[in-house]
Chains A and B, each alone.
Chain A
Amino acid sequence: MEIQAAVTVKELKKRYKKFALEIPELRIPKGFATALIGENGAGKSTLLRILGGVRLDYQGGIEYFDDAMTDEEIRENTGYVGPNNYFMSHWTVDNVGKAGELLFDHFHRDRYQQLCRRLGVDMGKKSIAKLSDGTKMKTMLAAAFARDTRLLLLDEPASPLDPLMRDMLCAMLRDYLDEGDGERTVFFSTHNVADMENVTDYAIILEQGRIVEEGFVEELKEKYALVKGERGEEKQAEKLLIGCRRNAYGYEGLCLQSELEQLSGLDIAVETPTLSQICVAVMKQNTVLQMEEDVSA
């Protein structure tokens, strides 16, 4: 079955003085939740801001929803949430609702108020600037979910939230997708891979402005194997292992399933990796940072 794309990116380039985001091709699958994972400064926020229409200074093409939509229609169908400079700081939570009604055709103020209550956001007179980071994020999420959208772009929504709220966020995202009947898509960046794994269908790993790995989570788990071995054999294994590291018992690292046979002579245990383990290993393989704990270092 061919998966349709909600967003198709082609030859996207955005250059800064010391950094360039270069994505030859990217298809965000329609009807799924896609996680964008990468270390700080990898280009996640830049990509999300470009897709959200907040930055327009890029080269390349972006096609939304496979339809010939106008810019205004795309914005109407897309909800973007970013961590910085999102609302005017002197606005109150109630102001956000008023502004939402004027800014978007399908903004439901009653739904916004319900979501605020559900997420524990006080509708009082406090200005946004005086709210905690977590409450600010909840307000942003309430404003995004109060609209009828087909695509949600969320820049690190889980970071300022407590574990309970992260769980609620996962449930909200899952409900959003389920109610969309395959027409709604979520694209979010996160550092909290473990917390967000149960809502992640597709993962994209970004390093130094390039996509280094992507795929459906189940496919990635079939592609890689978590290899654990005892001390003394790591020298032989490290050539095939990605992100190999020592622990109290020996070593562990990720190996491509297709190359697993080459480790057959060693005393190893093979397990299915979690998405978090896959991400860390792939990021370690591609990072420019010096990883001191790495066996090869």
Chain B
Amino acid sequence: MGQLWKNYHVFFPRKWLLIGVYALPLFFLAGIQALGFRLFAALPEGRLAIMIPLFAGLAGTGCYLAECLLNTYLFLGIGAREGAQLEYLMTSGRGFSMLQKALFADALRRGAGALVCMGGCLSLYAWNGKGFADVAVCCLTGAFLVFLFEEASLLLSRCTGNLVVNLLVYYVGSGILMPVLMQYTQTGNIRVCGILFAADILSELIMERTLQKKGKERYYD
């Protein structure tokens, strides 16, 4: 496990960026919780149930955009045929596995980040009278949704180095993600949650396979 993170951290050239990456979800969590408590105290009874999905939508979309922009900085176009800047890695027998480990660690961190971020927002439901199981399902549904959107956008981002195309995808992605998040985090639905979990696993496998194939294809015409 230590080797996994060691490989990943090689791709972070700045310490402040590394701290930011891990601190970002916690920052969201603290901020949203604090804001939630204030609103909970101020709003008339029953209104908080409307505000929580809005929190979740904003926080989840923010998390998605932050991850997309970070990826633009770190791994943009690594699976593209030209301009992947991987020759130094390619000269080593371990280069490809090092990159794979880094990408896997990145997926783990993003998944955890999405869970913490959505957990921070949706745990407010507990103060609104929802049971633990419903709150947990809501949190997981939100986190899986954010992760799924991240996967889809990042797959494109990693296979093309075109920044304009990527930004367009991020804008469209965030525009769709926010209402979807608001819709699906209102009610805890275990079936939706399960489907999203399966889709996340599948998307991660597709991402892994596509990048592996693309990365190796770069050797060929």
Q: Is B38 an interface residue (CB 8 A)?
A: no
Q: Is A248 an interface residue (CB 8 A)?
A: no
Q: State which residues 105-161 of A face B: CB under 8 Å.
A: 125, 127, 143
Would B93 and A87 count as touching, CB distance under 8 A?
A: no
Would A143 and B88 count as touching, CB distance under 8 A?
A: yes
Report B221 CB to chain A, min CB distance, Å. 6
Number of interface residues of B (CB under 8 A): 26
Would B7 and A88 count as touching, CB distance under 8 A?
A: no
Report B186 CB to chain A, min CB distance, Å. 40
Could you tell me the distance between the alpha carbons of A143 and B89 in the complex, rounded to whole angstroms?
12
Would A53 and B220 count as touching, CB distance under 8 A?
A: no
Could you tell me the distance between the alpha carbons of A88 and B74 in the complex, rounded to whole angstroms?
9
Could you tell me the distance between the alpha carbons of A258 and B13 in the complex, rounded to whole angstroms?
60
Q: Is B87 an interface residue (CB 8 A)?
A: yes
Mark A22-63 against chain B: 1 for CB-CB distance below 8 A, else 0: 000000000000000000000000000000111111000000
Q: Is B20 an interface residue (CB 8 A)?
A: no
Q: Is A103 an interface residue (CB 8 A)?
A: yes
Chain A residues, CB < 8 A from B88: 86-88, 96, 99, 103, 143
Q: Is A200 an interface residue (CB 8 A)?
A: no
Would B83 and A57 count as touching, CB distance under 8 A?
A: no
Q: Among the listed A55, A72, A127, which residue makes an inter-chain contact with B13, where contact means beta carbons less than 8 Å apart? A: A127
Could you tell me the distance between the alpha carbons of A258 and B94 in the complex, rounded to whole angstroms?
52
Chain A residues, CB < 8 A from B93: 71-73, 75-76
Report B167 CB to chain A, min CB distance, Å. 18
Q: Among the listed B82, B91, B98, which residue makes an inter-chain contact with A53, where contact means beta carbons less than 8 Å apart? A: B91
Given contacts A75-B93, A90-B73, A102-B6, contact A54 B13 (CB under 8 A): no
Q: Is B191 an interface residue (CB 8 A)?
A: no
Given contacts A55-B219, A57-B220, A75-B92, contact A125 B87 (CB under 8 A): no
Q: State which residues 81-138 of B face A: CB under 8 Å.
A: 82-95, 98
Could you tell me the distance between the alpha carbons of A39 and B10 in the complex, rounded to whole angstroms?
38
Could you tell me the distance between the alpha carbons of A193 and B93 in the complex, rounded to whole angstroms?
32
Could you tell me the distance between the alpha carbons of A88 and B158 in the complex, rounded to whole angstroms?
14
By beta carbon, the residue of chain B nearest A72 is B93
Chain B residues, CB < 8 A from A90: 13, 73-74
By beta carbon, the residue of chain A nearest B84 is A85
Q: Is A80 an interface residue (CB 8 A)?
A: yes
Q: State which residues 1-60 of B face A: CB under 8 Å.
A: 6-7, 10-11, 13-14
Q: Among the listed B11, B74, B91, B220, which residue makes an inter-chain contact with A78, where contact means beta carbons less than 8 Å apart? A: B91
Residue in A16, A75, A127, A143 with the greatest tally of chain B CB atoms within 10 Å? A75
Report A157 CB to chain B, min CB distance, Å. 14
By beta carbon, the residue of chain A nearest B95 is A103
Could you tell me the distance between the alpha carbons of A95 and B74 in the complex, rounded to whole angstroms?
13
Report B1 CB to chain A, min CB distance, Å. 15
Would A92 and B91 count as touching, CB distance under 8 A?
A: no
Would B11 and A88 count as touching, CB distance under 8 A?
A: yes
Would B92 and A95 count as touching, CB distance under 8 A?
A: no
Q: Is A192 an interface residue (CB 8 A)?
A: no
Q: Among the listed A52, A56, A102, A127, which residue makes an inter-chain contact with B91, where contact means beta carbons less than 8 Å apart? A: A52
Would A54 and B87 count as touching, CB distance under 8 A?
A: yes
Given contacts A80-B87, A88-B11, A89-B85, contact A104 B221 (CB under 8 A): no
Chain B residues, CB < 8 A from A98: 10
Given contacts A56-B219, A87-B85, A103-B98, contact A95 B91 (CB under 8 A): no
Chain B residues, CB < 8 A from A127: 13
Could you tell me the distance between the alpha carbons of A245 and B129 in the complex, rounded to whole angstroms?
94
Would A102 and B85 count as touching, CB distance under 8 A?
A: no
Would B221 and A57 count as touching, CB distance under 8 A?
A: yes
Chain A residues, CB < 8 A from B94: 72, 102-104
Given contacts A56-B220, A99-B10, contact A85 B91 (CB under 8 A): no
Chain B residues, CB < 8 A from A85: 82-87
Q: Sample 18 A-B pairs with CB under 8 A, ordered by A number.
A: A53-B90, A71-B93, A72-B94, A75-B92, A76-B92, A79-B91, A85-B84, A87-B88, A88-B11, A88-B88, A90-B73, A92-B13, A94-B13, A95-B10, A99-B10, A102-B6, A102-B7, A104-B92
Q: Lowest 5 A-B CB distances belong to which pairs?
A: A72-B93, A103-B92, A57-B220, A56-B219, A75-B93
B residues near A (Cβ < 8 Å) are: 6-7, 10-11, 13-14, 73-74, 82-95, 98, 219-221
* Given A54-B90, A54-B219, A71-B93, 5 additional A-B pairs, CB 8 A: A57-B219, A85-B85, A86-B85, A102-B7, A103-B89
